[in-house]
C-alpha cells in the first residue's frame, strides 16, 4: 500500500517504548548497521530489495549455511512456489541446537516443562543437543530416512521438542498433531503423509483428568498400517501392559548402537514439517514448510518484533499441533532463549497458575491468548497478580482482543508498563503478517505494522488497496516462510490463497488500516457479516457486548434475513443469569458502535463452543443455530459442547424469529 503510513505513530498511543527498550533492541541495532533510522524505511527496503534483505537478515540473526547459495530466490516453478537460497546446504539443527551446545550459556535451560499436575523439569542447551543426537540416531536405526514422515502425537513436553529436532537432523519430516485429537483425525494424518513412525505419550492430563493418548494412538493405528514403529513417552511410571510387542518402544529404550557425526546436509528448501489444519469438509490441509524458510521467518518475527535474545525466557501455552509450538521450538531455540512448554490450561489448578509459572521461571515474555485473559479476568474479578520484575512484555496471537480484556491485562495486570505485542498470521505464512514491536508506539489492541519482508495491504472488493475501511488482508509478494504448498495438493493451495486476485495472496482475514498507521483484524472473512450495506467483523460487535456489565463471554454470527439479507445474532454467557439486563446490553452496544449493529437476537447460554486452545468456533455456532451440518469438530474442547447453542427451529414455530426479537436461552437449547 505504497504512499500510506503502514506503521504506528505516537498520536493517541497507550504505550511508548522506553530508552531501555530502544537500547536493548536487536532490530534497532540491525537498522543502524544497515543505515536505516526508522522501521518504515527499512520495511520499504525489505520488500523492494529482497535479494539484499533476506541474506542480510540471515547473517544478522546468525543463520549460517553449510555451503554457499548462488541464488536468493528462484521463481522458475511459478511465483507461488519460490525456492530460496538455491545451491546451499542447510539444516536447522545447526542453528537451533549445535551452536548453543558449545556456547558460553550451554548449561542455561533451553526447554522447561510445567505439567498439569504441578510437575516441572528442564533441560539445558547442552543436554538438548545430546538428546537430539541420541534420538535421531535411534530413529535412523529404526529405519527412518531422509524424506520419511514421522507423526508426533504428544503433549507439550520436552520430548516433543527433542523428537521434532531429531527428525530435522535426519532430514525426516515431522508431522505434529494436536494432543486433543481422537483416533480418526490421527489416523487420517498418518495415512495422508504415509508416516513410518509415530511418537506418542502413554497419557497426558487436562484439568487433572487423564487423556489416554496411547490408547487413542493404538486405535488410530488399526487404520494406519503403514506405521512400523511407535515410540512412547511415559507421563509417569511406564505401564508395560500398554505396549504392543515388536512395534512399541519406550522413549528411554532409544539407545543407538552408533552415533552420527553431523546433521544431514539438506537443500534449504527440503521439507521440515507438515502442519495439518482442520477443514469443514474434505480431508485436512497438509501445510508443508521448509528448513530455511520456517527458521528464517520464525527468527525474524521473534527476534525483531519480540526482541527475543539469549537472556530471555518465553513462557506460553502452546499445543504441538498448532503453529505456535513449532515457532517456539524453532524461533525461540535458534535465538538462544529459554522456552517454557506448559501442559494444561492457564487457570488450573488455580486461577493464578500462569503467573506462578512466570514467577518460578523468571519469564521475560509471557504469551497469553485473549480468551485466556477474558477467563482469568472473570475468575479473579480483576485480580492483580504480583508479576515477576523480569517480565518485559506480553505477547498474544490467535484471535482478536476485546477492549475490556485488553485493558485489564495492560492496565491492571501489567500496570501500564508492559506492551502487549499483538501478533497475527497463520500456519500457511510460517509466522506473522502483522505484529506489535518493542520499539514502536502501541494503541490498544491494534497492531503496530507489518512484519519486515511482508508487502501487506488491505484490499477492497475490486482488489484495490484501501485505507480507513475494512477489506481483505493480502500479501503482494512472497517471503522465505511461505508454505511450500499443501502436501500432494498444489491445486488446492492455489485455489485457497492465490485465485481471488491473480498474483496476490489473500489470507482470509478481514482487516483495517487506519490513516495513522495502526492495523486491526476484524475476524475471518468467512465470519464477516454485511449489515445495512456495511461489512462488519464479529470482533467489533463482541467487544461491545463484552463491555456490558454482567457479560462473561460473547459470540456473534450473521444469519440470513429475508429483508436485509443478513442480521446479527448474539450468544451471551452471563456472569449472573438473574442479574443480567438485556436492555442494558443493547444500549451498551448502541452507544459504542451504533444502533444498526445491535443484535436482532440475544441468546443467553451456559457456554460457547471453543477449540481446545480457546478460540470461539463461530462457524460451528452458526451451523448449529441454523440446523446445518456442523463439519469438522476434531478441535472442539469436550468441556464446551455444541449442544449449549440453541437451534433456530426450536426457538420459533415459523423457523425464523422476526427482526428485533430478543431471545433468552436457559442454556439447554430452549428460549424462554
Q: pLDDT (tens digit, 9 = 90+) per residue, 49-83?
A: 999 999 999 999 999 999 999 999 999 999 999 99
**DSSP H helices in 35-124:** 39-48, 50-60, 92-93, 99-101
pLDDT at 213 over 70: yes
Give CA–CA dist 648/603, Å, rounded: 11
**Confidence class for position 668, pLDDT limits 50, 70, 90:** very low
Please state which of the ranges 26-40, 511-525, 611-625, 651-665 shows the lowest mean pLDDT: 651-665
β pairing state of 285-290 and 313-316 = unpaired
Hey, is 528 helix, strand or coil?
coil
Please state which of the ranges 94-98, 328-332, 474-478, 553-557 shows the lowest mean pLDDT: 553-557
Please give the average per-residue pLDDT across 269-282, as a whole number: 79
pLDDT, position 658: 31
Please give the average per-residue pLDDT across 141-163, as a whole number: 97
Decide yes or no: CATH 3.40.50.970 for domain 528-651. no
Burial class (CB within 10 angstroms; exposed 0-12, middle 13-18, buried 19+) of 475: buried
Sign of the alpha-carbon torsion through 35, 40, 41, 47? positive
pLDDT, position 295: 98
- Under DSSP, the state recorded for 409 is I
pLDDT, position 563: 60
pLDDT at 537 over 80: no
How far is C-alpha 439 from the geometric centre of its chain's CA atoms? 23
CA proximity to 100, closest of 339, 318, 403: 339
Q: Where in the chain is the domain with CATH 3.40.50.12780?
A: 19-90+269-312+364-523
Beta-strand runs (E) in 164-312: 173-177, 197-201, 204-206, 209-211, 229-233, 248-250, 271-277, 285-290
Please state which of the ranges 97-106, 262-271, 624-633 shows the lowest mean pLDDT: 624-633
Q: Where in the chain is the domain with CATH 3.30.300.30?
A: 528-651
pLDDT, position 166: 98
Please give the average per-residue pLDDT across 173-197, as a whole number: 94
Asked if 107 and 124 touch (Cβ cutoff 8 Å), the reply is: yes
Please give the average per-residue pLDDT across 309-336, as a whole number: 96
Max Cα–Cα distance, the chain, nearest Å:
74
pLDDT at 291 over 80: yes
Burial class (CB within 10 angstroms; exposed 0-12, middle 13-18, buried 19+) of 160: buried
Give CA–CA dist 428/273, Å, rounded: 12
The percentage of the chain sitting over the pLDDT mark of 90, rounded to a whole number, equals 67
Q: What is the mean pLDDT of the chain?
A: 89
Please state which of the ranges 16-20, 80-84, 622-626 shows the lowest mean pLDDT: 622-626
Q: Which residues, at least 6 apart from 250, have a Cβ–Cβ distance to it below 8 Å? A: 231, 232, 234, 238, 243
At 415, phi and psi to the nearest 5? Answer: 55, 35
CA proximity to 71, closest of 303, 292, 251, 272: 292
User: For residue 625, how many C-alpha atoms fall within 13 Å in the half-sphere facing its CB?
Assistant: 28
At 221, phi and psi to the nearest 5? Answer: -70, -15
Residue with cell 545451491: 87
pLDDT at 243 over 60: yes
In tens, the pLDDT along 563-573 reads: 666 889 999 99
pLDDT at 327 over 60: yes
**Confidence class for position 247, pLDDT limits 50, 70, 90:** very high
As its CATH architecture, domain 19-90+269-312+364-523 has: 3-Layer(aba) Sandwich (3.40)
pLDDT, position 94: 97
**Confidence class for position 663, pLDDT limits 50, 70, 90:** very low
Three-state SS annotation for 294-350: HHHHHHHHHHHHCCCCCCCEEEECCCCCCCHHHHHHHHHHHCCCEEEEECCCCCCCC
Asked if 543 and 523 touch (Cβ cutoff 8 Å), the reply is: no
**Confidence class for position 594, pLDDT limits 50, 70, 90:** confident
Grid coordinates given for 418: 508492559
Give CA–CA dist 318/327, Å, rounded: 10
pLDDT at 4 over 80: no
pLDDT, position 359: 93
Burial 32-53 (b: 16+ CB within 10 A, else e): eeeebeebbebbebbbeebeeb
Burial class (CB within 10 angstroms; exposed 0-12, middle 13-18, buried 19+) of 157: buried
Burial class (CB within 10 angstroms; exposed 0-12, middle 13-18, buried 19+) of 59: exposed
pTM of structure: 0.86
Residue with cell 530455511: 292
**Confidence class for position 638, pLDDT limits 50, 70, 90:** confident
Please give the average per-residue pLDDT across 413-440, as a whole number: 96
pLDDT, position 661: 33
How far is C-alpha 113 from the geometric centre of its chain's CA atoms? 19
What does the angle CA 430 – CA 434 – CA 440 come to, to the nearest 5 degrees?
130
CA proximity to 391, closest of 348, 369, 360: 360
Residue with cell 521463481: 75
pLDDT at 532 over 60: no
Q: Angle between the 582-593 and 538-546 helix axes, to the nearest 10 degrees?
A: 130
Amino acid at each position: 500500500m505504497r504512499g500510506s503510513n503502514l506503521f504506528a505513530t505516537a498520536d493517541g498511543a497507550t504505550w511508548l517504548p522506553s530508552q531501555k527498550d530502544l537500547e536493548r533492541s536487536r532490530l534497532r541495532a540491525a537498522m543502524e548497521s544497515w543505515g536505516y533510522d526508522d522501521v518504515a524505511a527499512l520495511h520499504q527496503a525489505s520488500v523492494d530489495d529482497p535479494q539484499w534483505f533476506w541474506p542480510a537478515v540471515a547473517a544478522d540473526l546468525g543463520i549460517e549455511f553449510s555451503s554457499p547459495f548462488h541464488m536468493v530466490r528462484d521463481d522458475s516453478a511459478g511465483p507461488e512456489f519460490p525456492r530460496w537460497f538455491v545451491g546451499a546446504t542447510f539444516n536447522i539443527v545447526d542453528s537451533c541446537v549445535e551452536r548453543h551446545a558449545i556456547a558460553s550459556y550451554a548449561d542455561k535451560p533451553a526447554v522447561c516443562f510445567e505439567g498439569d499436575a504441578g510437575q516441572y523439569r528442564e533441560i539445558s542447551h547442552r543436554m538438548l543437543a545430546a538428546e537430539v543426537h541420541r534420538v535421531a540416531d535411534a530413529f535412523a536405526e529404526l529405519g527412518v530416512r531422509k524424506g520419511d514422515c514421522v507423526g508426533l502425537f504428544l503433549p507439550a513436553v520436552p520430548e516433543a521438542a527433542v523428537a521434532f529436532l531429531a527428525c530435522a537432523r535426519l532430514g525426516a519430516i515431522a508431522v505434529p498433531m494436536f494432543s486433543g485429537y481422537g483416533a480418526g483425525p490421527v489416523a487420517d494424518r498418518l495415512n495422508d503423509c504415509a508416516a513410518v513412525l509415530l511418537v506418542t505419550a502413554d497419557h497426558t492430563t487436562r484439568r487433572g483428568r487423564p487423556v489416554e493418548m496411547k490408547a487413542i494412538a493404538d486405535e488410530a493405528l488399526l487404520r494406519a498400517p503403514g506405521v512400523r514403529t511407535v515410540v512412547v513417552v511415559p507421563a509417569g511410571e511406564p505401564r508395560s501392559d500398554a505396549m504392543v510387542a515388536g512395534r512399541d518402544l519406550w522413549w528411554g529404550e532409544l539407545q543407538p548402537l552408533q552415533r552420527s557425526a553431523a546433521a544431514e546436509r539438506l537443500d534449504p528448501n527440503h521439507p521440515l514439517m507438515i502442519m495439518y489444519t482442520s477443514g469443514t469438509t474434505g480431508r485436512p490441509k497438509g501445510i508443508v514448510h521448509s528448513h530455511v524458510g520456517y527458521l528464517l521467518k520464525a527468527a525474524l518475527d521473534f527476534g525483531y518484533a519480540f526482541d527475543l535474545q539469549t537472556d530471555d525466557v518465553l513462557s506460553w501455552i502452546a499445543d504441538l499441533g498448532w503453529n505456535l509450538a513449532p515457532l517456539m521450538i524453532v524461533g525461540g531455540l535458534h535465538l538462544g532463549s529459554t522456552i517454557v512448554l506448559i501442559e494444561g490450561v492457564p487457570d488450573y489448578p488455580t486461577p493464578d497458575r500462569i503467573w506462578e509459572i512466570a514467577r518460578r521461571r523468571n519469564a521475560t515474555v509471557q504469551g497469553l491468548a485473549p480468551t485466556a485473559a477474558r477467563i482469568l479476568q472473570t475468575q479473579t474479578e480483576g485480580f492483580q497478580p504480583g508479576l515477576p520484575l523480569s517480565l518485559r512484555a506480553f505477547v498474544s496471537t490467535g484471535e482478536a482482543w476485546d477492549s475490556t480484556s485488553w485493558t485489564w491485562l495492560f492496565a491492571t495486570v501489567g500496570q501500564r508498563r508492559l506492551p502487549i505485542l499483538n501478533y497475527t498470521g497463520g500456519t500457511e505464512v510460517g509466522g506473522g503478517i502483522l505484529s506489535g514491536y518493542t520499539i514502536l508506539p502501541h494503541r490498544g489492541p491494534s497492531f503496530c505494522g507489518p512484519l519486515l519482508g511482508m508487502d501487506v495491504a488491505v484490499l477492497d472488493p475490486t482488489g484495490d488497496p484501501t485505507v480507513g475501511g475494512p477489506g481483505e488482508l493480502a500479501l503482494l509478494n512472497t517471503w522465505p516462510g511461505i508454505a511450500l504448498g499443501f502436501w500432494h495438493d498444489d491445486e488446492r493451495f492455489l485455489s485457497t490463497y492465490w485465485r481471488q486476485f491473480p498474483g496476490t495472496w489473500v489470507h482470509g482475514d478481514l482487516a483495517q488500516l487506519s490513516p495513522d498507521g495502526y492495523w486491526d483484524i476484524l475476524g475471518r472473512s468467512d465470519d464477516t457479516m454485511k449489515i445495512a450495506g456495511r461489512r462488519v467483523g464479529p470482533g467489533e460487535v463482541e467487544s461491545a457486548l463484552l463491555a456490558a456489565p454482567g457479560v462473561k463471554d460473547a459470540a456473534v454470527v450473521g444469519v440470513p434475513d429475508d429483508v436485509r439479507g443478513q442480521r446479527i445474532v448474539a450468544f451471551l454467557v452471563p456472569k449472573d443469569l438473574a442479574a443480567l439486563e438485556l436492555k442494558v446490553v443493547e444500549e451498551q452496544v448502541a452507544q459504542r458502535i451504533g444502533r444498526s449493529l445491535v443484535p436482532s437476537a440475544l441468546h443467553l447460554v451456559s457456554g460457547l463452543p471453543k477449540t481446545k486452545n480457546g478460540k470461539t468456533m463461530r462457524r460451528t455456532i452458526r451451523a448449529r443455530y441454523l440446523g446445518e451440518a456442523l463439519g469438522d469438530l476434531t478441535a472442539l474442547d469436550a468441556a464446551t459442547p455444541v449442544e449449549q447453542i440453541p437451534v433456530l427451529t426450536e426457538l420459533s414455530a415459523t423457523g425464523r424469529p422476526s427482526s428485533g426479537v430478543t431471545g433468552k436461552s436457559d442454556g439447554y437449547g430452549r428460549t424462554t
